[in-house]
A and B are shown apart, each in its own frame.
Chain A
Amino acid sequence: MYDEDAKGIIFNIQKFSVHDGEGIRTLVFLKGCPLRCAWCSNPESQSGKPEHAFNPARCLTAQTCGRCLKACEHGALTLVNDMIMFDIRKCVQCFACAKACPGEAQKIYGETKSVREILDLVERDQVFYARSGGGMTLSGGEALFQHEFTHALLRAAQKRHIDTAMETSAYAPYSHLAEACKHLNKLIMDIKCLDSAKHKAMTGVDNAQILENFARVCQDFPDLPILVRTPVIPGFNDTEDDIRAIRNIIPLKATIEYELLPYHRMGQPKYGYLCRRYPMEGKELDKEKMKKLREIAFGLPMDIPGQNKA
């Protein structure tokens, strides 16, 4: 099969993104993730399949519309006290409600698209990439979850001379990561925590594979620019020891940058739409602490002016 014909499931394409790689970029969000990070800000990305979500704030209410109630044949949508209630346990993901909804209250996260369709969209902004050094960044979910599709996407993008970057948890077989790296202009990967027990507790997976992948990538792709990121999560890895430990395994090299991402709760409403509970309820990141951690992260000799911009 030609790379351009390969198909995969994505849940968003976001233009004019400037925090994930060089210049003005288009972010392609791929669906599916093997991790279950408690702080995940894209809960809709975790499942590998399209899924239904309900956003009551966008709903016209049952009184003025109610089309979804009529469309649902499985009792997943019911009227309780004049309010539309969504019961995920009864939902069979048939999306009849989303098709009936005149607006965007009943929504499907995830749609199948070919590499060609995605790159045609990405390419529309190429005049901006040319001026800013931008391009396409793959994100997720876990970009390597649909690894064959991701590889096809990256290969085809390079053929079209689109700058490529990928955000990954690096939790994947090394061969999957390596094939991607061959077609990347920049790798953005997380190292969340060195303590394997904590890592497993907060993300659902062990960190051994991730750390091994990082070491091998550094060795096998010495010229590939890598941005290592640590999301700083209250109660998980927000201690000085945590950050210092991560900092110490990052090679001192001009091609490798390190960045701390402060915990935020912008993904919280989406848990509600998906009928899920937000695991980090009530948690907040201490600003002073974050400041201190940044000092630790960048106070070391690796600090190259203009490189570490967290």
Chain B
Amino acid sequence: MSQVLSPQEDRVLNKKVDRKGRERIYKILERNQFTIPHVDVERAKYFTESMRTTEGELLTLRWAKALKNVAEKITVWITPDQLLAGRVGKLGRYGILYPEIDGDFYREVLGNLAHRDKSPFQVDPDDLKVVMEDIAPYWEGKTYHEHLNKTLPLELRNVTYCDERGLKSKFVVSETSSYRSALQWVPDYKKVLERGFIDIQNEAKERLAALDLTNSTDLWDKKPFYDAMIIVCDAIMIWARRHADLARDMAAKESDPKRKAELLQIAETCERVPSYPARTFREAVQCQWFVQMFSRIEQKASAIISNGRMDQYLYPYYKKDIEEGRITREEARELLECMWVDMAQFIDLYINPTGVEFQEGYAHWEAVTIGGQTPEGEDATNDLSYLFLESKREFPLNYPDLAARIHSRTPERFLYEVALTIKDGSGFPKLINDEEVVFLNSIKGCPVNEALDYAVSGCTETRMPNRDTYTSGCVYVNFATALEMTLYNGRMLHYGDELVGLETGDPCNFKTYEEFYDAYKKQHINLLQKAFQQQVVVDRLRPQHFAAPLSSVLHNLCMENALDLHTEKIPGGVDYSYFEFLGYGTIVDSLAAIKKLVFEDKKLTMKEVVDACRADFKGFEPVREMLRQAPSYGNDDPYADSIARDVDRICQLEAIKSSKERGIHVDVRYVPITSHVPFGKVVSATPNGRHAWTALSDGSSASHGADVNGPTAVLLSNYHSKNYDLINRASRLLNIKLSPKSVAGDAGTKKVMDLIRTWCDLKLWHLQFNIVNRETLVKAQKEPDNYRNLLVRIAGYSAYFCDISRELQNDIIDRTEHENV
């Protein structure tokens, strides 16, 4: 049979690049796209320089002063051919440092950064010296990570870290708050576009003037807060103005009249925004880019910073410019693509080795949200939504990540173009379902109009930019270890004799499945309780270490209450906390196999299963075969799916208890990013036939190769494993891999549309596709140089296949490819 290639495969294999109309973009891109990223230390340097001098002041104020120091001193760049200004590092792919999070790792990690096998970085020797002699020493003893490690009581630290300094994750109950300053975030870009920072600053000034300084709260808490707001507005405006000055200088020296004009236009734009309201599409794009880049200087949000509902807040400017003949569609697209190529050069640098494991492939995903509904509930699709899709199809770069909001009345054309873009094969866009998201976000407390206006943020999360107030990095719980601990009386083969969980007895003495399940449940709940306790520590410590004046000045509730966004409780806000479930399919299939084979059919004894797992099935191959034949999740099999629902239910019931206790809302989520690979490395063989130390199932997807009944069954299993009477649930990441052949032609596009419509009917949170031939991936593994630009879908983002580790590559190859379409 002849192989059908996806458009992406065709481009990569046959080295086709259509540069027509994109000469500028390709020039910028190809100058530095595939170089090893380097570390730029300026942000850390000037941030630290200021922080040294402000100890004792309100943290938000210190942060604002530090940002102003950075804004005044960091090198400003206007790079060749670019139409936008606002990068925060040297040419090429680069990452910046946030020593306030994990500066205590620098001594161990930084010198070796160029040689690590996952996501390496190069560090200039002079810069390294600055870090080692200047930056790191200040932060030693002061970082968030050290504080957390010191604060966690022993029984929590024992499931969190392997070592005393907390440098090595245990991958059982993993905290993620020490490799990022905050969860993913979306600032209210619309506010800046419409008002500009002078007006926003005036609001802060008015609020400051209205304070009663004889009142101690006003004097000691609110005044410095508003001082900080005023300073941070100055900071971003100073930084923008420096770009205008540079552009004028460069224009004066430029001999090429065309470039000279461009530079003058850049100067004019940077003089206008973000200080004043944007008037044109060009100003709006530049303004957004300044805000987004400055927020990167402010903090390391997870997945960096999302772009929000770009097709909504940019549309008025686009429409007006097009109508008044100020810009063509192609020029608008070029401006956006100028943003994409600069975005692609900024890399989310993880120093913490655990952070690297969690998001491989230089992952960062500044999700651009398109489609969906207006705050009034009308369909929101417009011409810009199509322009984003078109840009992605014709210029498939890994950034930005594209997220399409789908609802029950999504227009056919939008769905068609979404399907067409998905079929290209580079994994864009991911789909987020309004029918689940709006319902859940509003029933948990967000006003409906704001819930309807949510932006996709980070991987599969959502944000209501003026309502959301929860920003702590949340805990990842490896429940596959709970299963393992049920087999070995609270122990794990990887950690030897150490009692990691509870002693629930020798499973060989269990008489019924209920007894086994009960033991599992105890282990599961034990881990979960530890996770919640750990999260409480995180929630309390973070405000002592992190502040976000820029994010706060753009947040209505922060401004009204004079509270930093990272404050534990902000009146009027919604706090949607969560924990991440690792190993769902692995656990469900293991429980189903034990229930069926040991307790119902009695084809195996518990001892045989335990012995086989202990031996990693060596000498027990027939046992493994039998285990693998048992009912499994992902096949629309009620036997397995009802177990999946029960397991989800344990989580939600515990989450309800924790929510009440903490006065916030806690959800179970199934979004591993890439961590199901490292989490699998500590889990020995499991009773679903999975070999020791291999990847766990990812997200809410089936175990590798277990889903043999096609994608409809995968979607239905996901549907039937949810508990609809409970609302302590959020995102479920779901991957479907299809062969390009199965969706070829117009008929194939229609099938993808039908699948998406039905997925929407089923109210599943998220869906993403990999449409690629297995052979292509195998070849790319062997000849990486020929496949440098092959993009694959990982987990809520796409990355270059050759940028990820071999283990993760294998994980993607092993995802079941559905052929039958």
Q: Does A65 contact B (CB under 8 A)?
A: yes
B820–A127 touching, CB < 8 Å: no
Q: A24-B754, A128-B754 are in contact. Are A16 and B761 (CB under 8 A)?
A: no
| CB of B726 closer than 8 Å to a CB of A | no
**B821 partner residues in chain A, CB cutoff 8 A:** 16, 18
Are A67 and B622 interface neighbours, CB within 8 A?
yes
Q: Which of A131, A264, A266, A309 contacts B754 (CB 8 A)?
A: A131
A106 to chain B, nearest CB (A): 11
Which one, B623, B712, B755, contacts A102 given CB within 8 A? B623
Is the pair B757, A131 in contact by a Cβ cutoff of 8 Å? yes
**Closest residue to A17 on the B side, CB-wise?**
B820
Given A60-B625, A102-B623, A264-B1, A14 contacting B758 (CB threshold 8 A):
no
Interface string of A194-208 (1 = CB under 8 A from B): 000000000000000
Asked if A124 CB lies within 8 Å of chain B CBs, one says: yes
Contact of A16 among B625, B629, B711 (CB under 8 A): B711
* CB atoms of B716 and A16 under 8 A apart: no
Measured between beta carbons, the chain B residues less than 8 angstroms from A130 are 758, 761
Expressed in whole angstroms, the Cα–Cα distance for A50 and B2 within the complex equals 33
A65 in contact with B710 (CB, 8 Å): no
Q: Is the CB of B758 within 8 A of A128?
A: yes
A122-152: CB near B (< 8 Å → 1, else 0) gives 0011011011101000000000000000000
Q: B629 contacts which of A104, A266, A309 (Cβ < 8 Å)? A: A104
B78 within 8 A of A: no
A65 contact from B622, B636, B711, B761, Cβ within 8 A: B622
* B residues near A23, Cβ cutoff 8 Å: 754
B36 near A: Cβ within 8 Å?
Answer: no
A264: B residues at CB distance < 8 A: 1
The chain B residue sitting closest to A101, CB to CB, is B625
Q: Does A251 lie at the interface of the complex (its beta carbon under 8 Å from any beta carbon of B)? A: no
Say yes or no for A103: interface residue by CB 8 A criterion. Answer: yes
Known: A15-B820, A17-B820. A64 touches B758 (CB 8 A): no
Give the A-B pair count, Cβ closer than 8 A: 77
Interface residues of A in 222-269 (CB under 8 A from B): 264, 266
Q: Contacts of B710 on A, CB cut-off 8 Å?
A: 14-16
A176-197 with Cβ < 8 A to chain B: none
Per the CB 8 Å criterion, the residue count for chain B at the interface is: 29
Interface of A: prevailing SS: loop
Instruction: Output the least CB separation between A260 and chain B (Å).
Output: 15
B211 is an interface residue with CB less than 8 A from chain A: no
Report the minimum CB–CB distance from A290 to chain B (whole Å): 11
Residues of A within 8 A of B1 (CB): 264, 266
Given the complex of chains A and B, what is the CA–CA distance between A73 and B184 in angstroms? 65
Tell yes or no: B621 within 8 A of A by CB: yes
**Residue from the list B709, B711, B758 in contact with A132, Cβ < 8 A:** B758
Closest to A103 in B: B625
Given that A15-B712, A60-B621, A266-B1 are contacting pairs, would A132 and B751 also be in contact in the complex, using a CB cutoff of 8 Å?
Answer: yes
Most chain B CB within a 10 A radius of its CB, from A16, A64, A104: A16
Cβ contacts under 8 Å, B758 to chain A = 24, 127-128, 130-132
Of the residues B636, B742, B751, B761, contact of A124 by C-beta under 8 Å: B636
Report B-chain residues with C-beta under 8 Å of the C-beta of A24.
Answer: 712, 751, 754-755, 758
Q: Which residues of A contact B629 (CB under 8 A)?
A: 102-104
Residues of chain A within 8 A of B762, CB atoms compared: 127
Task: Give the shortest distance, in Å, between B644 (CB) and chain A (any CB).
Answer: 16
Binary per-residue interface labels of chain B (385-402) against chain A in the complex, 1 for a CB within 8 Å, 0 otherwise: 000000000000000000
Contacts of A108-132 to chain B: CB distance below 8 A: 124-125, 127-128, 130-132
User: With a CB–CB cut-off of 8 A, which chain A residues contact B713?
Assistant: 15-16
Contact partners of B754 in chain A: CB under 8 A: 23-24, 128, 131-132, 134
Is B530 an interface position by the 8 A CB rule? no
CA–CA, A240 to B104, complex, Å?
78
Q: Is B628 an interface residue, CB under 8 A from the partner?
A: yes
User: What are the residues of chain B within 8 A of A132 when measuring CB–CB?
Assistant: 750-751, 754, 757-758
Q: Does B210 interact with chain A (Cβ within 8 Å)?
A: no
**Residues of chain B within 8 A of A18, CB atoms compared:** 742, 747, 751, 820-821
* Contacts from A to B (Cβ < 8 Å): 14-18, 23-24, 60, 64-65, 67, 102-104, 124-125, 127-128, 130-132, 134, 264, 266, 287, 309
Q: List 20 A-B contacts (CB under 8 A).
A: A15-B709, A15-B710, A16-B710, A16-B820, A17-B820, A18-B742, A18-B747, A23-B754, A24-B712, A60-B622, A64-B622, A67-B622, A102-B623, A102-B629, A103-B625, A127-B761, A127-B762, A131-B757, A132-B758, A309-B747
